Each structure stands twice: as C-alpha cells, then as structure tokens.
A and B are shown apart, each in its own frame.
Chain A
C-alpha cells in the first residue's frame, strides 16, 4: 500500500493544512483616498468617500459601531453612484474598498466584476475584486486578477502578496512561487506592520520546505519564533525540517515535547504517532493514537489508531477504527481501502473483496481503490479477477507504471514469467527508474532463467540472467549468471562476472565457490584454489565445507598436487555436490597421473594408477572412461615391455574410435608400440600411415618418433658393423634435427669405423665439452690408433670429469691401467673426484 497511502502524510499536505489555518486569521484593511466627483455620480462618490473617511477615523479610534454605520452609508452612496453611472470606475472602486472593509464579498464580486471587465487595467478594481473572489474561495477566478495586482507591486496592494503566498503554498504547493510572493511582501511592508512578520516568516518556512531546502526553512521558522511565546505550528515546522534532514529521533523528541507542553493540540500527537508507527515503535504509537482519539474522535485520529492496530496485527480492531473514519467522512477512499485490507487480514477475503467491489460500484472511482481491489483479489488467490481489475487500472492511468506493476505482481504470483516480464518491461517503458519494477523484473527473469536452464535452454537462461544482472547488481544475481554461464561452458565470461560479483555486498561462500569453478574452467587453477580457500573460510556448515573441498580437489588436480586432490576426493564428506565431483573425477585423477607417469617413463607407477582408477569406478566396461583406462594400461604395459598384451588392449580401447581419441590414435600408438618392440620397419610404415593427415598437436611427437626410429636403426646397424646402413639412418635423423650434437657425434663414430678417422676426430674435438662421449672416443682413438697413452689418459679423465658418464666404471679402469703401466700420474693441480684407488668402483670384469 506504500505507494497509495503512506502512514506518514506528506510534508506538502501538512504545509497546506497549516497555511489554510493561517489564512483564516490574518486580515488587515487599508484606507483609500479618492478625489471628489463632478457629476451626480461623482458627487455621490465624493459623499461616499467622506463617509468612508469618517468610518476609517472611527475604526482607528476604536468606535466600531460608528465605523460600521459610516461604512454602510458609504457603501449605499457608492452603490447609488454606480447605479447613476454603471461604468464609473471611481464608484466601483469605492464600492470595492468599502465592501472589503465590511466583508461584503458577494456584493463586491457581483458589482465590481462588470466594471473591471470593461477596465481590465484598473488596479483599484482588480484589487478588491481579486480579494473578494479569493475570500469566496473562487480561487481560479481570483488568481489571474491577484497576479495582475502582484506584478504591479503597488505598496497599497501589499496584502495581495500575502494572499498569493498563502494560495501558492495551500493550493498549488509551489514553494518557489510562495517564497517569491512573501519576499515581495517583506520588501514593501511599512515598518508599522513589522509586528506581524512572524506570520510571513513561518509561511516562508513552509515555502522552503516545499522547495526541499531544510536549511532555509529552519532559518525562517527560527526567525518566526524569535521573541515570541512558543508556537506549536512553528515548532512543528521545525520538526518537519528535522524529518527532512533524516534526524528522526530529534524530530520525535521535539514532537514529544510539544505533546507534553500542548496536550490539547491534536496535530503534534498525530504527527508523533505517525512517526512512531513508521519507526515500528508500536506501544508508544498506540499511546499517542489513543490520546488523540480521546482528545476528539476525528477521522484522522481513528485513521491513526486503525493503522496502529493493523501494525499490531489486530485487524478486527483496526477495521472498527477505519469504519469510524467512514462514519465521520463517508466515501473517504483511504478509509475504504483500509477497511478492505483489514478484512483481508482477518482472513475474510470474500468480505474484503465485496466491500471494495461495492465501494467501486458506488462510484468511488479512485485509482487506489481499484488497485487495492485487484491486489486483494490476488492475495485471496483470485488471480483472474486481480488481473481483470488491474487491467482497469492500466486503462484509468495509461501513462503510469502503476497498473503494469500490479499486473506484474499478479502474474508473478502465478509463475507466468513471460507475462510478468512483459508487464514490468512495460512499466519501465513508462517510468524507467521505477525501483519496484526493476527489482521484480530482475527476479522474474531469474525465475524464468532457472526454469529454462532446467529444461536445457541454457542460452536463453544466460540471456535472461544477463538482463537481470543489469537490473539488479547483487552478488546473488551475479552468482546465478555465473552459474548458468558455467553450465553454458562460457568459463571466461563466468569468471569476469564472478570476479565482480564477489566484490558486491553480501557476497558469501557460494559466490566464492562459483568464482572458484569459473577460474578453474578458464584455466587459472592457482587463483581457483584461492577462491575455494576463501569460500572455505566463509562456509557456514560441514556440508558447505565438503562442497568447497571438492572444488579445491579439482584445482589441486590441475596444479599437479595429485596426492592432495586424491585425499579430498576419497573423503568427499556429506555434500551432494562433493559426491558428484568425486564420482565424476576420482578415476579421472588417477588416469591423469597415470598419463603423467607414462610421460616420465614410469610404467609400473602408471599401471598402479590405472588399477586405482578401475577400483574407483569407470562407469562400465564399454564406457569412454573405461576404454581410456584400458588405453593407459596398454601404454603402461608397453613401457614395461609387455608388447603383446599392450597391443590387445589398444585394439579393445580404440575399436570403434572413442570420443577422446584423435582420428589416427590407433595407428600412432601402434607405431609407438612397434618402435618400443624394436620392429623398426613396421613401425616406420605405420607411422607414415598415421601422419598422412597431419594434426598440429601431433607434429612434434611424429617428428620425434620418426627421428627415434632412424636413430634406433642406426644404432642397430652400428653395433652389427653395417656402417653403410648406420650412416644412412643417422643422416636421415640428422636431416630432421640438424642441430643435434649427439647425432653429429654419432655420425662421426660411423665415419671413424669407415676409415675416416681424422674426420671423426675433428668432429669429436669440436664437440668436446658438449658431448661427454666425444672425450671418451678421443681417448679410445689415442690409445687404439695413435698409441698416445698420455693423451688417452687425458681424454678419459675429461670424460670422467663430465659427471654424467654412463661408462665411468670401465673407463676409470682403462685410465688407471694406463697410468700404472706408463707411470702417468694425476696432474698435481687437477681435482680428483675419487682419490681412492680403483678397487672401490672398478668393474668386476675385464673390459
């Protein structure tokens, strides 16, 4: 109901009421001077003026009776003069002036108006006519006449500023105009009238309140109060200033003081009661409301008490009060609505509806009433009638958002999201800043998105939630959008949304959890782990903790912290999501480690991981995961030299081609298997077939395998003494990687045995320091071919000093034997890595 009838009357209304009260008290009359007439009419006018002067004098001397008699006489004379000359401006002006003094407004209005119509520029006609019309409450006629006088700004028409100031404040609630008129008054008023300035300042205060300028208002009210006994209306004005400044406690304290010092003033009690009700201080609000009713059972007092009873959840008593309001002010729309609401609160839906229906039928064609009727129907579950009535509201106020907002609520209540969204969208077209329309449009979109995501319409859900998040920037809305983006696979965008979402107020563990998954999905496991840690710190219960832990496990899995990940996954706790994560990922983590171990050459470790994955469950023998597991096992067996078993597993895992395999994985792995089984020509043939359709991610492996095949062939040919074949194969390998020093070195070995010893020695010398075997071979050459034992020993020593010497034990014996035979001691300065004699490390066999 907040939009239709606030429990706290607006400042505007309060000011208007106060101004009305004021305008009834302050009146002042000002004497007018007229020159004598020449004609009959002029003569009568002069006589009238004489009587008017007498009356003025008598009034000044305090002889009211004589003043009245003289004014009456003057009035009679002016009327006669006007009868003698119907167009006489002086006669009409005199009549007007005297008529005002006698409060004969009807007579002034009817007699002066025709003369004024013929002389619209005459201010002496305009002034009394305008005042009389104003006093007769014919404001619309009075206003242009008074404005004419005000613009002329004549000192003798000073009072017109006061009347207009009142009217602007009362009827038009135009603060700027009010302030302008009153300031014009203050600028002109003679000193002898300064005593009444307090009234002007108080009214100015109201004007400033209407201008939303509490500081200026306070100044005016304070000026009004200075040097005078405490005035309730001025103090209440100051109270409104405090309200406007948001100082509610001070405002209430001020009002409370007034209720104590002026117990008979109802306005202070009512206002205090409203403020207490608003701040939900029901006991004290009740005290004020009851006191107000006791003071005099006005409609406002019963309304307040009714509102207090509603807030106290005592709707039956509230109804009684509201009905008293209707007794005092029959047809009061606010009270009718209130009765309807009170009935509904008592569960008397049908009565509420029929009450409001009959109110509507009896012709109370108020927007609020129709709105309430519809909403009461909605709350009673009569959605069709609610929609029907609220459509009427749309027809009544087609330029307002109100009707659409109400329809939105009706459709929201029935979960008709499409219609709801349409309603609120329409409302926002009319009032783009309508806060409720924005809020509930966002919620309706969120509801529709949830339904759509549940029905597989993820893209549509994303669209809805993007719009909802634009309307409602809350962490919860960010979470919904982030979650549905994750479901869509848009990890990067989900991450962007959630990075912002966790910065918003009220971001909690769930928001950090979704951010964690978004970071994980967008390839930032380290940052993901941080998010999960944060979520863990905020987790409210054990289920949440295990939820978060599952996320951490996945991040750790990505970071290669497999043991930590496995520990978490094997103890998933109680959360449903954690169990889901474990079910989907535990065997996967084992398989990942299996592949990592295979890449490191650890076949046995890989096989153990595959067995663990099998135990964790692979979803049936024919599942993709089971076949991936079989594939990993095959690779592990290959690594362990069980080529036959491996071949069978590859066949099983890759027929037909599973989703995880590349189109040529079968051929490629067969080539690898043949290579590891030393079946080199077949391996080469299979590899060529596999590489027929190149896949970028395979380029490196294919090249490496091709090269490895050449090298293996070369090594075999070399050891069997077939130097021609060895040379060919090494050259082929070298063509693939011309910078390989190992291949250059090996090709030199082939050359050496092909009677090109000097060439080979040149190459080895070049490669010494890079390839340890070059030193070894230089030593062999020195010993075997050149018989230069000193050089041989030096070369062997360099080979041994290179650290990573695979033949260290044998070569150390060679070196030491030569040293003993030829008396070649270690160089004095050279550091000896092993100063002990050879016996400790020497090979147990002769070379």
Chain B
C-alpha cells in the first residue's frame, strides 16, 4: 500500500526530473579502494555493490560499483575519468591530491579514525628493527615512506633510513609476508592485528575510510548523504566538518612542525573593583533609626 507520504515524495521526484527530462540520467561509477580498512577481497566487493545500489537510490542516478585491489589500478581509473565517486582509505585519498575532493568519513565501529601499528613476531622495540624489512601497503610509491615517517611515526624516526620498506597490495598480504618471514615487521591498522603477533608501536589516530567526489559532483553528493543508508560494515557517512584530510595531506607531505619552546601563558587579567569604584559605594545602606530615639510620654510631676 502506498502511503500519502510516499506518493508526495514520488510526485516531488517526478517534478525534479522535469528539467532533465530531455536527457537520460547519466550513469555514475563508484570506485572502492580499501586495502587497509577491509581485510577481505570478497567483503570489499560486496560493500562496493551494496553501496552503489544505495547511492543509486539516494541520488536517483544509476551507479555501478568497481572494486579495486591495487592502488595503480585505482589511480589509473581515476586518471581516465572512469570513477565519479569513491570510498577509499584516507592515506590513499590524500595521495590522489587535488583529483579527489573529500565529502564524508565512513565510521567503523563508531570511529572515523584509526590507529596504525608496527607489528612483529619477535621481541624488542622499533629501534631494534634497524635495517629490517617492514611490509607496507603500496600506495603512490614515493609517498609511501612519507606516510610511515610523517604520519605513523610523527617525524620521530625516518622510516626510509631505518627500515627496508617492502610494499605489498593489502593488509592480508602484509600479514602473510610477516608470517612467511618475508618481512620482520608489518604496518597495519591496529584493528587488524591478529593474535600471536607483537605490537611494537601504535600510532596516533589517522582518518580511516573516506568518501570522495572526482568530478565536481561533491555538492550533490553532500546533499544526498542524508538519504544514503549505511552499508555494513560502516556506519552512516559523517560529513567532513574540519580539515581532517587537509591536515593529513600536509602532515604526509611535510611531517609535523619542529617543536618550539612553550611559553608560560597567563590567564587574562581580571577586573579589580577597588581600582574602579569609590570604596563606600557597595557598602550596605543602613536604615533610619529615628524610631530608636523615641522618649516615653512620662512627664515630671511633684
């Protein structure tokens, strides 16, 4: 049974289509590249399909899904203009530079950011891994060591000098390489660290999966976000309010600024009533005591 509300919505949609009635709606392509956020290829594929369906419903524009396994493929597709929207790991998003405009973050278990971990099968600290192989998920190549040095290690250690960085396509392959002793350590999101592996280092929080627009359709996308139902395993998209991605991009490029000595700051000076006012002004005003002066009516008599 069609409710009056749905009927109205249907009419409204019909009206909305009128200006574009002449041309058939253009097909859109959703790219999904989540090699570190989702560990399973099948999962990534299903997510891509489901999200594309929801996007079609939300935007009224038929959307096809395309899941990418490797950064090169994804980057190429973007370069060719095949991809209209994408959901991808934020470290990859910032490597795309100006080609991708961030629209919203996809929360996982309520969190839009995640920590990264350097894991190993052996004991010791990060320092002990000097000259050892660290498996990392491959991105744009040149930016990959910067991600480790500037973002994960916050500039406190130069990963390129310290490790032999070993690029792999995704988290599963990084962990497999560690297991197969193809690397002494691996860099993976903290959430994906399997049992029996030691966490030598955990990073500060880094933004996770992000929804981006590639073709200047970001405003439409932002408007339709509210209509977009969440797709597991993510929660509903959260609009980007601040400059999370911008900050990440800067951090990736240049690392954190050099620490400078910190001043002792004094809170703002406050009012001193005595300086402004004559002291008597706030004194209590005493009442009149005329009645305390009364004398009894008694008179002298002899």
A839 to B295, CA, bound (A): 81
One of A449, A487, A777, A839 near B288 (C-beta < 8 A) = A487
Chain B residue contacts of A784, Cβ below 8 A: 258-259
Within 8 A of B (CB), among A805-827: 806-807, 813-814, 817-818, 820-823
One of B272, B285, B290, B293 near A700 (C-beta < 8 A) = B272
B interface residue count range (under 10 / 10 to 19 / 20 to 34 / 35 or more): 35 or more
Chain A residue contacts of B206, Cβ below 8 A: 846
One of A453, A584, A628, A749 near B287 (C-beta < 8 A) = A584
A523 to B276, CA, bound (A): 21
A interface residue count range (under 10 / 10 to 19 / 20 to 34 / 35 or more): 35 or more
Is B153 among interface residues, defined by CB-CB distance under 8 A?
A: yes
Q: Mark A587-601, 1 if CB is under 8 A from B, else 0.
A: 010011001101111
Q: Mark A434-460, 1 if CB is under 8 A from B, else 0.
A: 001001100100110110011000000
- From B205, which residue of chain A is reached at the shortest CB distance? A844
Within 8 A of A (CB), among B245-302: 247, 251, 256, 258-282, 284-296, 298-302
CB distance from B243 to the nearest CB of A (A): 11
Is B70 among interface residues, defined by CB-CB distance under 8 A?
A: no
A58 to B128, CA, bound (A): 165
Within 8 A of A (CB), among B112-139: 113, 115, 124-128
Whether B300 and A845, one on each chain, are in contact in the complex, defined by CB atoms closer than 8 angstroms, is no
Is A127 among interface residues, defined by CB-CB distance under 8 A?
A: no
Binds B, one of A183-191, A209-217, A270-278, A668-676: A668-676
Whether B270 and A844, one on each chain, are in contact in the complex, defined by CB atoms closer than 8 angstroms, is no
Given A406-B302, A813-B204, A846-B256, the answer on whether A746 and B287 have CB atoms closer than 8 Å is no
Is B156 among interface residues, defined by CB-CB distance under 8 A?
A: yes
Is A409 among interface residues, defined by CB-CB distance under 8 A?
A: yes
Is B45 among interface residues, defined by CB-CB distance under 8 A?
A: no
One of A413, A599, A837 near B299 (C-beta < 8 A) = A413
Chain A residue contacts of B125, Cβ below 8 A: 820-823
Interface of B is mostly: loop
One of A581, A662, A711 near B277 (C-beta < 8 A) = A662
One of A453, A585, A631, A822 near B285 (C-beta < 8 A) = A585
A700 to B269, CA, bound (A): 12
Whether A749 and B302, one on each chain, are in contact in the complex, defined by CB atoms closer than 8 angstroms, is no
Is B201 among interface residues, defined by CB-CB distance under 8 A?
A: yes
Chain A residue contacts of B247, Cβ below 8 A: 845-846
A783 to B276, CA, bound (A): 48
- From A806, which residue of chain B is reached at the shortest CB distance? B265
CB distance from A219 to the nearest CB of B (A): 39
Whether A598 and B271, one on each chain, are in contact in the complex, defined by CB atoms closer than 8 angstroms, is yes
A443 to B295, CA, bound (A): 7
Given A600-B270, A742-B266, A820-B202, the answer on whether A550 and B275 have CB atoms closer than 8 Å is no
Is A68 among interface residues, defined by CB-CB distance under 8 A?
A: no
Is B151 among interface residues, defined by CB-CB distance under 8 A?
A: yes
Q: Mark A636-667, 1 if CB is under 8 A from B, else 0.
A: 00110000000000000000000111100100
CB distance from A538 to the nearest CB of B (A): 15
Is A74 among interface residues, defined by CB-CB distance under 8 A?
A: no
7 closest residue pairs by CB, A with B: A823-B125, A483-B289, A483-B292, A701-B275, A660-B281, A584-B285, A749-B261
28 contacts between A and B (CB under 8 A): A1-B302, A375-B301, A408-B300, A446-B295, A449-B293, A484-B293, A517-B286, A554-B286, A577-B291, A584-B287, A585-B285, A595-B277, A595-B282, A599-B270, A631-B276, A639-B270, A660-B280, A662-B278, A697-B274, A700-B275, A715-B265, A749-B263, A776-B262, A818-B156, A839-B115, A842-B204, A843-B204, A844-B113
- Give 15 new A-B contacts, CB below 8 A, not counting A479-B292, A771-B264, A844-B205: A1-B302, A405-B302, A413-B299, A436-B300, A450-B294, A487-B289, A517-B286, A595-B271, A665-B276, A669-B276, A708-B266, A753-B261, A817-B153, A821-B156, A847-B154
